Amino acid sequence: MESLSTGIKGLDTLMDGGFPKGKSILVTGPPGSGKTVLGIHFLHRSCKEGKKCILILTRELTEDIFSQSRSLNLDLKPFVERGQLNIKNIFEDKMNKIKSVSKFGKGLCAVDTDIIEYISSLSLKVDVMVIDNIGVIAINHDIRDFADEFNSINIILLKNGCTSLFIMDEDSYNLTHRLTGYMVFGLIRLTSQENFNSGKTKKYLYIEKMRDKAVPVQYSLFDITPEGIRIITGMNDLLET
């Protein structure tokens, strides 16, 4: 199966080339574990390779993503200006709607986050889609509705041949009984381990599943530097054992 580079050298090695083309991958982890950084790497690389990309944001300001990508030397703004990357900010759309509907006495519940409507309306071919953070759907839905919504989004993207990265915070992932893990082609979990003696935190990446590949069954130590995610241990260790 053809792969798309993740934009992170060590991760491409761990994943035997990168994310499987046309499939969906779920990335989950606690706050600050590197989920958004991972998404930025993938988008930056895909844009550089000339792919048509979309980023759907549900919890962050577009401006914050621009400055984070700039700080990592993976500036996304030029790709937006060139029309290669579209950013749909559901969070900001929602803020604008709240401003107007609140005048009429309606609140937050009057505004929903309709990702399905947006991706269904896309007429152009999209190569790469990153949704950061899909966990918002978990908040206002019961488990069955949540599974339905996620499944619909997943199926639409699959049918369009889009290589999709779903970013989901760990709390929403657990709250929804880890259902999304079963629905996607691949699952990557990021974790942090605190060492109270040294006062330092170690970050680990674990490829829990990748349906078409033999992936290392181990946690890979990584860190986030001003150049982004750097895998410290991984394939070499595996080869030695």
Ligand X SMILES: Nc1ncnc2c1ncn2[C@@H]1O[C@H](COP(=O)(O)OP(=O)(O)OP(=O)(O)O)[C@@H](O)[C@H]1O
What is the closest distance, in whole angstroms, from the C-beta atom of residue 209 to ligand X in the complex?
20
Residues 20-39 that bind Mg ion (CB under 5 A): 35-36
Among 169, 204, 216, 222, binds ligand X (CB under 6 A): 169
Among 6-14, 32-40, 105-113, 153-161, the segment contacting ligand X (CB under 6 A)? 32-40
Among 13, 28, 36, 89, binds ligand X (CB under 6 A): 36
89 is a contact residue toward Mg ion (CB under 5 A): no
Could you tell me the two tokens for 89? 């900010």
Cβ 161 vs Cβ 197: under 8 Å: no
Among 11-19, 25-33, 146-154, 175-183, the segment contacting ligand X (CB under 6 A)? 25-33
What is the closest distance, in whole angstroms, from the C-beta atom of residue 225 to ligand X in the complex?
6
74 is a contact residue toward ligand X (CB under 6 A): no
> Could you give the CA distance from residue 213 to residue 186 in angstroms, rounded to a whole number?
10
Among 156, 179, 224, 238, binds ligand X (CB under 6 A): 224
135 is a contact residue toward ligand X (CB under 6 A): no
What is the closest distance, in whole angstroms, from the C-beta atom of residue 159 to ligand X in the complex?
28
> Could you give the CA distance from residue 95 to residue 190 in angstroms, rounded to a whole number?
30
What is the closest distance, in whole angstroms, from the C-beta atom of residue 229 to Mg ion in the complex?
13
Could you tell me the two tokens for 155? 């199926």
Tokens 């309709």 map to which residue? 114
Cβ 74 vs Cβ 40: under 8 Å: yes
> Could you give the CA distance from residue 21 to residue 187 in angstroms, rounded to a whole number?
15
226 is a contact residue toward ligand X (CB under 6 A): yes
35 is a contact residue toward ligand X (CB under 6 A): yes
Total length of the chain: 241
The count of chain residues that interact with Mg ion, using the rule CB under 5 A, is 2
Interface positions with ligand X (CB under 6 A): 29, 31-37, 68, 71-72, 169, 224-226
